[in-house]
Amino acid sequence: MSTLSAIDIKSVALRTIGLEAEAIASLQAMVNDDFERAVKAVYETKGRLVISGIGKSALIAQKLVATLNSTGSPAIFLHAADAIHGDLGMIQQEDVVMIISKSGESPEIKVLVPLVKNFGNTLIGMVGNTSSFLARQSNIILNTTVSQEACPNNLAPTSSTTAQLVMGDAIAVSLMELRGFTSEDFARFHPGGTLGKKLYLRVTDLYINNEKPRVSDTSSLKEVIVEISKKRLGTTAVTDGNNQLLGIITDGDLRRMLEKNIPLDSVIAKEIMTLNPKTITADALAVEALDRLRKFDINQLVVVSGDGTYLGFIHLHDLIREGLI
């Protein structure tokens, strides 16, 4: 067994990355007419793409199924071993079947392939051996042959599974382009995740739950302090008689005013407010609000309508609660 001092860990890691990078680069030559046929077969089917495999290839198949489903292409996973023990019923007449295998010669694959062929489904073989049983029996071949595994014994699936993964991603992205899959579509399939929230959650979904502190430009200092304290946002908007935003007053503005030693009994809101505060419209994406808060290093934005009417505040804490940070 090699000791930690006997190997150069960085060199091993760099060699692994280099070999897998070569495997990925070699795939460019394998994006051929069969690749195009495979994508079109999946795009044009009225059924689903059923993806099967055994061992590490089965794990790649599951990842590809997840990617396809999340990007608008219906897909299901069928484990090759389970398929020949009752799960073949998952395959419907209009489905396209893809089997992923490095060798194309696994016993389970050899049993499964004739059964799929008997069903009459289009069979795509993603295979690392184009002379294999799987390749010979497939209607369409996706070649993921690699020259060498990153494993020092050239045995453990490393470069080969990376090639399968990238080829699968190339299929998924091609299908996204064909379907015109948009960020709005992505959000529909990811409503509960952070990615989805970044694409659909809007300021109006958040600010309406907050207090809406507001004073007039002629409000006294006492009224300003009471409003800030009562609404507990550390700030208040200053508006005119038509609810148009004139400025804001924050806790910081009050502290700076006190440092000036000016008579407090005559101070009114317009004398201490900050003009041209940072704002955002209610229909803006919440992630846009986050970008503005970060850009200006502040904790809240004033929410306004298109004509400048004051609506409320969105706070950094609102975005934290939604998991956007």
The answer to whether the CB of 123 falls within 8 A of the CB of 137 is yes
What angle, 0 to 180 degrees and rounded to 10, lies between the N-to-C axes of helices 56-70 and 159-179? 20
pLDDT tens digits, one per residue of 296-311: 999 999 999 988 899 9
Per 3-state DSSP, what percentage of the chain is helix, strand, and coil (rounded to 5)? 50, 20, 35
The runs of H, that is alpha helices, within 30-126 are 33-44, 56-70, 80-83, 107-119
pLDDT tens per residue, range 119-164 = 999 999 999 999 999 999 999 999 999 999 988 888 888 999 999 9
Task: Tell me what pLDDT residue 153 has.
Answer: 86
Distance CA(81)–CA(85), nearest Å, equals 7
Q: What pLDDT is attached to residue 2? A: 56
Q: Maximum CA pair distance of the chain? A: 93
Which range among 31-45, 184-198, 293-307 has the greatest average pLDDT?
A: 31-45
Query: What tokens were used for 99?
Result: 């089997």
Question: Which has more pLDDT, 174 or 188?
Answer: 174
**H or E, element range at 251:** helix 251-258
Q: What residue ranges in the chain does DSSP mark as E strands? A: 49-53, 75-79, 96-101, 123-127, 140-143, 214-216, 235-239, 245-250, 274-275, 279-281, 300-304, 310-315
What are the two backbone dihedrals, phi and then psi, of residue 36, each rounded to the nearest 5 degrees? -65, -40
How long, in residues, is the chain? 325
- pLDDT of 200 > 90? The answer is no
Mean pLDDT of 252-264: 81
pTM above 0.75, yes or no: no
Q: Which percentage of the chain shows pLDDT scores above 70?
A: 93
